Structure 1
Amino acid sequence: MKRLVVVYRSPRVENLYLFVDREEGMVRVPEELLTRFGEPEEALSLVLTPDRSLARADARSVLDAIELNGFYLQLPPAPDDWLKQHG
């Protein structure tokens, strides 16, 4: 399975990203999530395949979530993870 995906960043929360199918857009993203997310800012578009390497997510999990829910929400790293990366 491969899919053209658009990744949006949240203007309200650092390192919060929303992945959606390019063709479907945000039609299945809950309104409450969009309200909390803020006005989405397009970060990038990519062809996503199950074996593609992503920085903080498993590509297969992202594809499955988009198929099932219409989106994948990538949360910011936990404070402990941030300390390991920057400490």
Structure 2
Amino acid sequence: MKLITSIYKSSKKEEMYLYVEKAKALTEVPEKLLELFGTPIHVMDLLLRKERPLARADVEKVMTDIKSQGFHLQMPPQKDDYLIELPDELLTMNDPV
């Protein structure tokens, strides 16, 4: 199976992506999901094939989700509990002026 998809990133959540069938665009994505996702920012169009793996998602699951529900939502990767997210101000405190 092959599927031409469009991939969008979220304007609200870093590393959250929405895969949809290119021909249908965002027409089958529930309005409530789009509200939570934020403004979809088009990243690229991609031909999905089960022989060509994706970096952070199971390509067959992505295609199945798109065919059955009209989209696939890729969530950001889990962060380890011991990692602390520091504010940008702290990360730049030691930068030379």
For 1:17, the equivalent position in structure 2 comes to: 17
More helix by share: 1
Deviation at 1:33, TM superposition (A): 0.4
Distance 1:7 1:14 in 2: 14
Deviation at 1:52, TM superposition (A): 1.4
Structure 2 gaps of 5+ residues are: 84-97
Residue identity matched to 2:79:
P
Equivalences, count: 82
For 1:54, the equivalent position in structure 2 comes to: 54
- Normalising by the residue count of structure 1, what TM-score does the alignment of the two structures yield? 0.89
Q: CA RMSD in A?
A: 1.4
1:1-87 alignment to 2 at 5 Å?
Answer: 1-80=1-80
Identity between Structure 1 and Structure 2 (%): 42
For 2:89, the equivalent position in structure 1 comes to: none
Residue identity matched to 1:18:
L
- Normalising by the residue count of structure 2, what TM-score does the alignment of the two structures yield? 0.80
Distance 1:26 1:45 in 2: 13
CA contact (8 A) 1:51 1:60 kept: no
Distance 2:51 2:73 in 1: 19
Deviation at 1:63, TM superposition (A): 0.2
Structure 1 gaps of 5+ residues are: none
